[in-house]
Amino acid sequence: MKLLAIAALALILAGCGGSEPKGTFDEAGFKREVSSWDLVQGVVVSENSRSIWVGMMDDGTRRDGYAMSVCEAVREYTQGDVSNKTITILDGPKMSVLNERVELGKHRCKL
C-alpha cells in the first residue's frame, strides 16, 4: 500500500517543475528520513524542490502541525540560499486508490 501511494503521488504530481533554486537541498536524505516516520505513506518532491507532498492516513484531523514538522526536516537537509517550500499533507489512500487529491494539511516553509 505504501509503494502504491508513492507511485500514485509521483504520477499525479510529476508535471510540477521549473528552475533550480540556489543552494542545495539533500532530497534523497530528506525523503529517506521523512519516509521512515510512522504515519507517512509516501513523499514526493517537485522537480524544482519548491513543493513537497506527503501521503498519510486521514484520521479526521487537520495535519497542519505535521506539515510544520516536515518543514523542520526540510531545514535539516537544506544549505545555502534556497527557495521557500510548500509542504502539503495529502490523504494517501484516497490518492492511490481513487486518484483524489484530498488535502489534510499545509504549511509554507520559509527558509
Which residue ranges form the domains of the chain, and what is each CATH number?
2-15+25-109 (3.30.300)
Q: Which grid coordinates are listed for 40?
A: 507517512
Check if the beta carbon of residue 58 is closer than 8 Å to that of residue 94.
Answer: yes
What is the pLDDT of the chain when averaged over all its residues? Answer: 84
Check if the beta carbon of residue 81 is closer than 8 Å to that of residue 49.
Answer: no
pLDDT score for 11 = 47
Is residue 4 over pLDDT 70? no
pLDDT score for 15 = 46
Which of the two residues, 21 and 111, has the higher pLDDT score? 111
Q: Kindly state the average pLDDT of the residues 27-40.
A: 96
pLDDT digits (tens, 9 = 90+) for 43-97: 999 998 899 999 999 999 999 999 999 999 999 999 987 778 999 999 999 988 8
The region of weakest confidence among 7-11, 79-83, 96-100, 103-107 is 7-11
Question: CA 89 → CA 24, 94, 103, distances in Å?
Answer: 23, 12, 6
Q: Which grid coordinates are listed for 69?
A: 514538522
Q: What is the reported pTM?
A: 0.78
